[in-house]
Structure formats: C-alpha cells, structure tokens
Amino acid sequence: MKKVLISALSLLFIYTAVSAQQKLKFSSQTYAGVLLGDGRSDLQLQTINGVKWKNWFGGIGAGIDWYSFRSVPVFASVNRDIFKKGKNTLLLSADVGINLPWHQDNYYYIDFTTNNEFRPGLYWASGVGYRFGVGKADNALLMNFGYSFKQSRQEFANVYPCLNPPCLPFVEKYDYRLNRLSIKLGWIF
C-alpha cells in the first residue's frame, strides 16, 4: 500500500513538473546603463538569465558596476509584469545579492600598510521598467529606472614598526554605502 502511494505521488509530481515546464521559458536580459549618485555618475553592465512563467520572471544576474569602486554584483532577480498591453508592458523589478570587489587600488599610500583589501558587501536594487515588444516571439527592448544600493567594504591593516614582532596591526575599516539611481536600457530575448 505504501509503495503504491509513493508511486502515485511520484507520478503526480512528475506530471505536475512536466506541465509546469511546458509553461516555463528561458529568458535572457542584457543591460547597459548609468548610475547617478552623490555628485558622480558611472556606467553599469548587467546580464540576467532565467525563466519566464506567466507574468513572472526569475533569474540570476551578474554585472560590472563602475560606481566609485569597480565591482561585480551577483544577484537573484525577479520581475513582475503589470499593465500588459499587447506586446508592451510595465514591470516591476527587484534584485538582491552580493557585491564582489574588483577595485583594489590604494587611494593613498602609507609606508607601513601591509594589507589593503576590498571585501564583499550587499547589493540590491528595485525599479520599474517598460518593455517594448519587438518583432516576433518575446524579443523586446526594455527601459528600467530605479534605485540601486551597493556596499563596498575596505580594510586597511597598518602594521607600524615595533621592536619585537609580531607588531600589533592597527585596522581601519571603511564601509561605503552607496545609494544610486539606476537607468538601464536592455534587450530581452
């Protein structure tokens, strides 16, 4: 009896999954844009790849963010279509993930600095966009406006001379919390 029940549930699960897969569709978004912040602006590039299901899109994204300290955000992304009108639609987007450092330069040089490194921080963004359907299938142009936050953490370990090692390091931590407006143009297929 137990084996029958398990077999039945397995079949039901496989059927449901296959049915769901029929509605899932791979979708890829590629963006170029600008980040506007506190007295400066920089470029961003992103690619997000995932699946579309009804009015939802979910995927994993990565990009290059040149704002202040060059970094590589890696994030999960969700879109929800609203106010659909033919091939065009307004949509809401939300991203959350980690901001990986790329930039490693010293901004000032201290003779005793033995360690200066950027560390990962938080990345998240939200916005509203408008998708213009182009041609056949689901190809579309997209404009997206929103808010983008990234955190860049930098740590200096300054070891000053001492007579008898190990010399105690003096650590300075810089936690940059960068708030930007994001304007992106993209291509979806």
Q: How far is the CB of 21 from another protein (least distance, A)?
A: 33
Residues 60-99 that bind another protein (CB under 8 A): 68-69, 88, 90
Whether omega for the bond prior to residue 166 falls within 30 degrees of 0, making it cis, is: yes
Contact 188, 131 (CB under 8 A): yes
Which residues in 76-111 are b (16+ Cβ under 10 Å) and which e?
A: ebbbebeeeeeeebebebebebbbbbeeeeeeeeee
Interface pick for another protein out of 2, 4, 108, 136 (rule CB under 8 A): 108
167 is a contact residue toward another protein (CB under 8 A) = yes
170 is a contact residue toward another protein (CB under 8 A) = yes
105 is a contact residue toward another protein (CB under 8 A) = no
| List of residues contacting another protein (CB under 8 A) | 36-40, 68-69, 88, 90, 107-108, 110-112, 114, 128, 130, 143, 145, 147, 159-167, 170-181, 183
